Amino acid sequence: MLKLEDLQVTMDSGTLRADMALVPGRRVALVGPSGAGKSTLLDAIAGFREVAGGRVTWQGRDLTHVPPQARPVSILFQDSNLFPHLRLERNLGLALHPDGRRPDAEARARIEGALRRVGLDGMAGRKPGTLSGGQQGRAALARVLLMARPVILLDEPFAALGPALKREMLDLVREVADSLAALVVMVTHDPRDAEGFAHEVVLVAEGKAQAPVAVDAFFADPPRAFRDYVGVAG
Separation of alpha carbons 200 and 58, rounded Å: 18
CB nearer another protein, residue 67 or residue 234: 67
Helix H or strand E encompassing 134: helix 133-147
Interface residue with another protein, options 2, 73, 141, 151 (CB under 8 A): 73
Cβ closest to another protein, residue 87 vs residue 167: 87
Bridge-based pairing of strands 151-155 and 183-187 is parallel
Stretch near another protein under the rule CB under 8 A, chosen from 4-12, 20-28, 44-52, 189-197:
44-52
Judged by CB under 8 A, does residue 67 bind another protein?
Answer: yes
In which element (H, E) is residue 30 found?
A: strand 27-31
* Binders in 94-133 for another protein, by CB under 8 A: 94-95, 98-101, 127, 129
- Closest to another protein by CB, 61 vs 101, is 101
DSSP string, 169-232: HHHHHHHHHHHHT-EEEEE-S-HHHHHHH-SEEEEEETTEEPPPEEHHHHHHS--HHHHHHHHH
Residues between 141 and 160 that touch another protein (CB under 8 A): 147
The nearest distance, CB 176 to another protein, in angstroms, is 16
Q: Which long-range contacts (CB under 8 A, 24 or more apart) does 117-120 make?
A: 117/142, 117/145, 117/175, 117/176, 118/142, 118/145, 118/172, 118/176, 119/172, 120/88
Q: Which stretch binds another protein (CB under 8 A): 40-48, 170-178, 211-219, 220-228?
A: 40-48
Give the binding range for another protein (CB under 8 A) out of 55-63, 75-83, 200-208, 222-230: 75-83
Q: How far is the CB of 114 from another protein (least distance, A)?
A: 15
Which one of 7, 28, 31, 75 is in contact with another protein (CB under 8 A)?
A: 75
Give the separation between CA 233 and CA 51, rounded to whole angstroms. 30
Residues at the contact surface with another protein, assessed by CB under 8 A? 46-48, 67-70, 73-75, 77, 80-81, 83-86, 90, 94-95, 98-101, 127, 129, 147
